[in-house]
Amino acid sequence: MATKPFSHGVVNGPDSVTGIVLKAMSRTPDPRLREVMESLVRHLHAFVREVRPTAEEFEGGIDFLVRLGQATGPEKNEVVLLSDLLGISTLVVMLDEARAAGGTDPALLGPFWRAQSPRCEPGESIARDGGGGDPLEVTGRVLDLEGRPIAGVSVDVWQASPVGLYENQDPEQPDRNLRGLFETDREGRFHFRTVRPKGYPVPVDGPCGELLRAQDRHPWRPAHIHFMLSRDGYRTLVTQVFDNEDGSIESDVVFGVTPSLAGRFERRANGSLHLDYDFVMQPGTRRIPRPPLP
């Protein structure tokens, strides 16, 4: 929709550019959009003044951003991956969560969550392919900040396989393998069966892989299970529980591990594994994020 011409002035050297751009955006009706865009312009312009990119470097940067979109598809979201690799996703999650004392630490949604996980009965297995791996039973409770159980919480879980691949990455796995949606009982308890996940490298076949190699960084994530807990009246909790025996737990490539999210995968006498982990939700608004994958 066309707007009336608005005089913001003409550029008179590099020192004038930022002020003129800010003036051009000054009539933005939405106050939050105006605040965000003004801050973004100030920081981007300050970045350009600091590093003084050459025209060739600028072209390379634009090409990198274009290829992020081109590399995004049904198997991965390269833009989300970049925000993870730069620590932006973790920082946003932690600042936005404003965790109350005693609440479970949040963690990244990650690029592999899919909506509409299969609804499962208590104790059901989410390992649907019979592809082997160490059997793992997961049990836990969901509590409020006062330690009281919360019934009726949707517990959405997803994980990588024993070979370190999510089902949408691996044609050998059936659709929605190692994904499930459970509900807590009146005591706030849930349990399900699965197989021990394996740590894995983030995808390195696109621009993000180029960046990691250029920075001499490894691509590995420690083994973990994703959890999304939601119920009306409570703030949706998106988090991960990590295998504390994984060698990459202190060097997670996407900076997602906190000490309290390290879980114990205990070996039982029969050789199977057991993970028991309690989650604490805080009051707030239920919000289901936008899926990064279809």
242-272: pLDDT as tens digits: 999 999 999 999 999 999 999 999 999 988 8
pLDDT band at 98, cuts 50/70/90? low
For residue 97, is pLDDT > 70?
no
Nearest to 84 by CA among 219, 246, 210: 219
Q: What is the CATH number of domain 78-280?
A: 2.60.130.10
How far is 159 from 176, CA to CA, in rounded Å?
Answer: 10
Span 214-242, average pLDDT:
97
Percent over 70 (pLDDT), the chain: 96
pLDDT of residue 129: 86
Better pLDDT: 97 or 58: 58
Over residues 181-204, the pLDDT tens digits come to 999 999 999 999 999 999 999 989
At residue 93, the pLDDT reads 85
Residue with tokens 């598809």: 73
CB 180 within 8 A of CB 126: yes
pLDDT in tens, 207-217: 999 999 999 99
pLDDT reported for residue 71: 94
Mean pLDDT over 214-241 rounds to 97
In the chain, which segments carry CATH 2.60.130.10?
78-280
DSSP-derived 3-state class of residue 82: helix
pTM across the whole model: 0.84
Could you give the angle at the alpha carbon of 278 between the alpha carbons of 123 and 112, nearest 5°? Answer: 70
Assess whether pLDDT exceeds 80 at residue 294: no
pLDDT, position 73: 84
Mean pLDDT rounded to a whole number for the chain: 92
The per-residue pLDDT for range 42-84, each reduced to its tens digit, is 999 999 999 999 999 999 999 999 999 999 887 778 998 999 9
The string of DSSP codes covering 77-115 is -HHHHHHHHTTHHHHHHHHHH-PPTTPPPP----TT--S
